[in-house]
Structure 1
Amino acid sequence: MKKKALVAALAALSVFGSARAEIAKGTVKIGVLTDMSGPYADNVGAGSVLAAQMAVEDFGGKAGGTPVEIVSADHQNKADVGLGVARRWYDTEGVDAITEVVSSGVALAVQQLTREKDKVFLATGPGTPDLTGKACSPNGVHWAYDNYALANVATAPLVKKGLKSWFFLTADYSFGQALEAEASKVVLANGGTVLGAARAPLNTPDFSSFLLQAQASKSQVVGLANAGADMMNSLKQANEFGLTAGGQSIAALLVNLPDIHGLGLANAKGLIFADSFYWDANDKTREWSKRFMARFKGKAPGSLQIAVYGAVTHYLKAIEAKKSESGSALVAEMKKLPINDVYTTNASIREDGRVIRDMYLLQVKDPSESKYPWDYYKILATVPGDQAFRPLKDGNCPLVGAAK
């Protein structure tokens, strides 16, 4: 009788353990792998780490009954450095998921490693559409913007306004090249022409030779296919070189709120661009942003920082629902759950891992229009996700239809 009772108890324990699939090591660990010291640090960096911490706190500190811990590291925008950190985190430090990873080159490497290790990758900062295209993964989700959406939402209106001829000043690595390529497609599809491009290395301090090429092209528009400090420096120097005074328009294809703060409204006024969030959009965004600002020296969150909050929150919801150690199983669960939070409403994760959410066409205010600190934008239009992002059929993701 005792033997039968013991067998029954062990069987019940086995079923219970299988159903709950508790995190065996007793902690859910999420790594924020980001740019802490380079050209994108203000747009992500410490603000992204804080956003991840806020997500855990707002979730109650646990997921599926297991405590949640946030760790962070600087990938220095180098694929080998980022991959080394990710491998160490996965192999020896018990990290279950990695988020942020603003550099596209680092992100593509981390996505592949994450698939090999059956962990979870929540890409919020990188722009390359390859993450949900040819390099898509059952373990990866692309959360915020991508280069296709930025170009589609921001470039087409300018071409349709009559700004037909374009020259690009491009960050010379995968992110910038992809952004230039996507914007060029939109320009050409709307009847415009691309006169050329000048490609500058990451973290270029002096853009004079590249701006001279843009000026000599006599294009109507100089498209800045770069970001962060590179975008800020190239825009400032374009103004100093008199490009706008000479009749050329400047289109910054990737702008984040900290960039505008660094530039100042006098330098950035009138810029039209696409983004996925504005802190002052409504009462809900303002309430969260003020909590963030109170802990971040009064700085308002940019879209890439609050995107980490949204991605981490949804991941924790999946753990609550699935309670699995398998990364691919958790991502599959994330795809089943609707997305509704302060960053994203009424959205979903597509088969290829792309979050389909609204994007916004924004314009930087004139200094005379700004009434209080961080009052920088006007929302010109809200573009539904199914119109903003690349159609599923065009991405060439190997996962699409694979299970059918």
Structure 2
Amino acid sequence: MSSVHSTRRALGMGAIAGLFSLGLAMSEVKAADPVRIGLLSDQGGTFSALGGVGSCVAAKMAAADFGGTVLDRPIEILCADHQNKVEIASTLARNWLDTQGVTALADIASSAAALAVQQVATESNKAVVMTSASGTEVLVNASCSPVGALWAWNTRTQAVSTVKGAMQGGKNKKWFFITVDYTFGHALEQDATKAIEAAGGTVVGSVRHPLNISDFSSYLLMAQSSGADIVALATGGLDLVNAIKQADEFGLVEGGQKLASFISFITDIHSLGLQHAQGMVLTTGFYWDLNDQTRAWSARFEKERNAKPTMVQASVYSSVLHYLKGVKAAGGTEPKAVMAKMRELPINDVITKGGQLREDGLMLHDILVAEVKSPTESKGPWDYYKIIGTVPASEAYWPLSESRCPLVQAKRS
């Protein structure tokens, strides 16, 4: 009897050992699953030059620079074209989270698409979202998320920092606005006006134009006769390009006025040419020719894309790299745990120095003030900016006390 019991006991122990070994093997397989980061981009439309395929290149550079693995798991970058359509962006995000095991989403052009994708991630609690190609501040205010971050730019900060940069040294006190007539333009003008008045300046006039027009002549004549030091273009896309070209034809800069663009990218200047854009004041979170590190990183990017990186593409690199640091520090990919580590860790990389991810999801960093060079000042392709100042993060962003983020407000009450 004891022999039978011994045999049974041995068989039982063997079975347990087998199950234990199988469990370890399954655990090892699971641990080897890739950490997948999905980029939802506009790859052929309005925002393709500022993000698009270039953002995918930047994300892959971040994965490679991190070492290709995190927590002994390979890093994979998935890239898809959401065509600036909310339905496509939401469907792609859900599919990636539910069937591909994606744990982070990045880039995300178009404000409506970015808001929809952040909502999908918030409801599922399966991924961190790091938006770089959209700049709506709603992402970190009314629609803020415990798993969402706004990494590159936002309309309010662009307006405030551009004003501060243009008015440094007590210059350029009189402003005239040419503003696109919808919420985007209205918000830019409103935020910039507050900053102008706070700095002791005045708005001497403004005019609003319909979206997607080709003739800015009447608006530019009003600006020219206003006596303004700065003609501020609170518009974007093709409207911005047309306004800048026609301002050159009307001789605004030659006549002593300056143009200021609240939201423009180096690809816009490349498309316009220095002849049209020279003298314009703008702000940016990144410039390729800032120092030896940015030049070396941008040279690597240019080999892949035959172009210098935009602020958005550089931001995608920074956000993906910091996400991977957060995963390593958290010991896993659970979104809220990773976000907690991402907020704890300072953001220091080739793109961002001394950055901080705030509890409302806003990534704080210094803003560069640039003036577009003249053709004679430029030494060659992509040598477009003179950096004329810096707006520190403490001045560029609104204080947390003004936040409308429910996460922040809940802590106050």
Cα pair distance change 1:109/1:217, threshold 3 Å: farther
With the length of structure 1 as denominator, give the TM-score of the two structures. 0.87
Q: Distance in 1 between matches of 2:186 and 2:77?
A: 32
| AA at the equivalent of 2:367 | M
- Among 43, 59, 63, the alignment partner of 2:50 is 43
Alignment of 1:386 onto 2:381: no
Query: Deviation of residue 310 (structure 1)?
Result: 0.7
| 1:288 match | 297
Q: Deviations over 1:76-95 (max 9, x none)?
A: 33334433332333334433
Alpha-carbon separation, structure 2, partners of 1:164 and 1:225: 17
Q: Tell me the alpha carbon deviations over residues 31-68 of structure 1, each in whole angstroms, 9 at most, x when there is no partner.
A: 21122222222111111111011111222222222222
- In the superposition, relative to structure 1, how do residues 268 and 63 fare at CA in structure 2: closer, same or farther (>3 Å)? same
8 Å CA contact retained: 1:99, 1:124: yes
**Amino acid paired to 1:349:** L
The 1:57–1:172 alpha-carbon spacing in structure 2 relative to 1, beyond 3 Å, is farther
Contact 1:229 1:259 in 2 (8 A): no
Amino acid at match of 1:388: A
Choose from 388, 393, 405 the match for 1:397. Answer: 405
Alignment of 1:143-158 (within 5 A): 143-158=151-166
The aligned counterpart of 1:134 is 142
* Paired letter, 2:46: P
Match of 2:234 in 1: 225
Tell me how far apart the structure 2 counterparts of residues 21 and 102 of structure 1 sit (CA, whole Å).
35
CA contact (8 A) 1:198 1:213 kept: no
Residue range with higher mean Cα deviation, 147-156 or 266-275: 147-156
**Residue identity opposite 1:267 in structure 2:** H
CA shift digits 1:213-235 (9 cap, x unpaired) = 65686755332223344422221
CA distance in 2 between counterparts of 1:241 and 1:73 reads: 42
Specify the SS of the correspondent of 1:400: helix
Please tell me the residue identity of whatever aligns with 1:200.
P
Task: Give CA-to-partner distance per residue, 1:94-153, whole Å, 9 cap, x none.
Answer: 332211123222222222222112121101122222222222111011112222222222
Looking at structure 1, the residues matched to 326 and 249 of structure 2 have their Cα atoms a distance apart, in angstroms, of 50
In terms of mean alpha carbon deviation, does 342-351 or 67-76 score higher? 67-76
Tell me the CA shift for residue 174 of structure 1. 4.8
Deviates more, 1:53-62 or 1:244-253: 244-253
Q: Which moved more, 1:91-100 or 1:40-49?
A: 91-100
- State the 1:191 CA deviation: 3.7
Distance 1:184 1:382, change over 3 A: same
User: Which residue does the alignment assign to 1:257?
Assistant: 266
CA distance in 2, matches of 1:323, 1:227: 42
Q: Percent identical across equivalent pairs?
A: 43
Which piece of structure 1 moves more, 222-231 or 340-349? 222-231
2:93 is equivalent to residue 83 of structure 1: no
User: Is contact 2:259-2:281 (8 Å) kept?
Assistant: no
Structure-2 separation of matches of 1:277 and 1:21: 40
Contact 2:39 2:79 in 1 (8 A): yes
1:310 corresponds in structure 2 to 318
Q: Which runs of 5+ in 1 are unaligned?
A: none
The number of aligned residues is 398
C-alpha distance in structure 2 between counterparts of 1:223 and 1:70, whole Å: 39
Structure whose alpha-carbon radius of gyration is higher? 2
Distance 1:328 1:177, change over 3 A: farther
User: Structure 1: how far apart are the matches of 2:363 and 2:411?
Assistant: 20
Q: Whole-Å Cα distance in 1 between the matches of residues 233 and 402 of structure 2? A: 25
**Structure 2: 5+ residue runs without aligned partners?**
1-8
Q: Compute the displacement of 1:157 (Å).
A: 4.3
Q: Deviations over 1:360-385 (max 9, x none)?
A: 11111122222233221111112221
2:36 aligned residue (24, 29, 47): 29
Q: CA deviation at 1:402?
A: 3.9
Could you tell me how far apart the structure 2 residues matched to 1:381 and 1:159 are? 11
Return the alpha-carbon distance in structure 2 between the equivalents of residues 346 and 81 of structure 1.
36
Match of 1:183 among 192, 215, 220: 192
